[in-house]
Amino acid sequence: MRVLVIKTSSLGDVIHTLPALTDAARAIPGIRFDWVVEERFAEIPAWHPAVDRVIPVAVRRWRQHPLQAWRSGEWRAFVRSLASPPAHDLAIDAQGLFKSAWLSRYAHTTVHGLDRGSAREGLASLFYHRSHSVAGGQHAVQRVRALFADALGYARPGSAGAYGLDRARIAAPPTDPDPAPYLMFLHGTTWDNKHWPEWYWQQLIERVSAAGWQVRLPWGNEAERERAERLAQGRPGVTVLPTLSLTGIAAQLAGARACVAVDTGLGHLAAALDVPTVSLFGPTHPGLTGAWGHNQVHLASDLACAPCLARTCAHRASEDERARFDLAREQPLCFTRVDPARVWLALEQILTRPQSDQPPERRSVPR
């Protein structure tokens, strides 16, 4: 059986789809997948041994310059790639958005997806030949696993599942002149109010440095690079990593003893690599989109308004609250309940815990 998967973005959503492929490979011997994914995340599907072909798209770029996408031939090349042999027995739109459903129109096979009441954008279900009901209120990984099971005709799995990544496909980092154990601090994220305050990162770095740990800081854009350099300034045990591909970042994560992450795609990547991680949540819900896997610790705000799931904080802190918590004028209150002392306590518990050889559900995935 050959299946076309449509899950284009974001980084976390792409990673959340991997356990469903692992389930299918165990339930249906010989099943193979081709995967439609945004070009900047195209490295990830190739890490799974059940994936044969990665078909990149550039929906975000094409929407900004549609005439250029047409004249360049990129769009026609994408449509031809869906029709190229070998043929697909069926397609699964695991995104549930209008943009992914639109792409599914060009799949030359029966398309499965979430029904109107289950998809994030209900109109997407109009594009599917077969729609499936998957209850909300559960983690995104479990929802995708249920969709794959229903579409492919096997029982919904009751086990914890596994990402099933082939680590041999993730390039090893270059020889490290400093082999000291290190931590990764994943400080970059998309929403402004998902950022942990910079002075909190500074305080945490001081604590881990005093305990003898090295820290490595990745970055993905200019603002993140500048933040990383500020955090590293004057701190000899802190390294700002160079420009890296996703595979390069994955290799760095795989070598880390543990991570601290805000709600970010790289935090999900750390979970997929079974790296113990403390993830920090303010406005978002760890039960629905938190880092899913072995040795994942979630620290979430316990404010009455959290999680608000809003990109902009609606809570207006009083002058007294701002003085008490040393908040900047626009800084939301969420993370005042997730301070460096609490994060260090959780991280310290991870670092003093014996390292297990194999996390639960780490089993080989059929190729």
Residue 11 has φ and ψ, to the nearest 5°, of: -55, -50
**What are the tens digits of pLDDT across the range 41-55?**
999 999 999 999 999
Q: How many CB atoms lie within 10 A of CB 346?
A: 18
If you average pLDDT over residues 210-238, what whole number do you get? 96
Q: How many angstroms separate the CA atoms of 353 and 129, rounded?
A: 49
- Helices and strands (H, E) in the chain, number of each type: 13, 12
Which of 149, 163, 113 lies closest to 24 in space, CA to CA?
Answer: 149
Band (pLDDT 50/70/90 cuts) for residue 367 is very low
The number of residues making up the chain comes to 367
Band (pLDDT 50/70/90 cuts) for residue 193 is confident
If you average pLDDT over residues 265-281, what whole number do you get? 96
* Domain residue ranges in the chain: 2-62+72-168, 174-352
**What are the tens digits of pLDDT across the range 8-49?**
999 999 999 999 999 999 999 999 999 999 999 999 999 999
Band (pLDDT 50/70/90 cuts) for residue 78 is very high
Q: Do the domains at 2-62+72-168 and 174-352 have one common CATH topology?
A: yes
User: DSSP states of 149-194 as a string?
Assistant: HHHHTSPPP-S-------GGGSPPPPPPS----EEEEE---SSGGG
- Do residues 134 and 146 make contact, with C-beta atoms less than 8 angstroms apart? yes
Q: How many angstroms separate the CA atoms of 258 and 277, rounded?
A: 6
**What are the tens digits of pLDDT across the range 129-154?**
999 999 999 999 999 999 999 999 99
Q: How many angstroms separate the CA atoms of 196 and 189, rounded?
A: 9
Q: Which residues pair with 239 in a beta bridge?
A: 216
Q: Which two tokens stand for residue 52?
A: 């044969």
Using left for φ > 0, alpha for ψ between -120 and 50, and beta otherwise, residue 360 falls in: beta
Burial of 366 (0-12, 13-18, 19+ CB in 10 A): middle
- Do residues 201 and 262 make contact, with C-beta atoms less than 8 angstroms apart? no
pTM higher than 0.85: yes
Q: Which CATH class is domain 174-352?
A: alpha beta
**What are the tens digits of pLDDT across the range 293-330?**
989 999 998 877 777 767 777 665 555 655 555 555 44
Which of 25, 126, 10 lies closest to 367 in space, CA to CA?
Answer: 25
On the question of pLDDT at 175 being above 70, the answer is no
At residue 335, the pLDDT reads: 79
**Looking at domain 2-62+72-168, what is its CATH homologous superfamily?**
Glycogen Phosphorylase B; (3.40.50.2000)
Residues sharing a CB contact under 8 Å with residue 347, sequence separation 6 or more, in sequence order: 183, 204, 208, 258, 260, 278
Band (pLDDT 50/70/90 cuts) for residue 159 is confident
Per the prediction, the chain carries an average pLDDT of 89
At residue 365, the pLDDT reads: 47
If you average pLDDT over residues 250-268, what whole number do you get? 96
Q: Distance of CA 92 to CAs 7, 99, 123, 168, 336, Å?
A: 9, 14, 16, 27, 41
On the question of pLDDT at 273 being above 60, the answer is yes
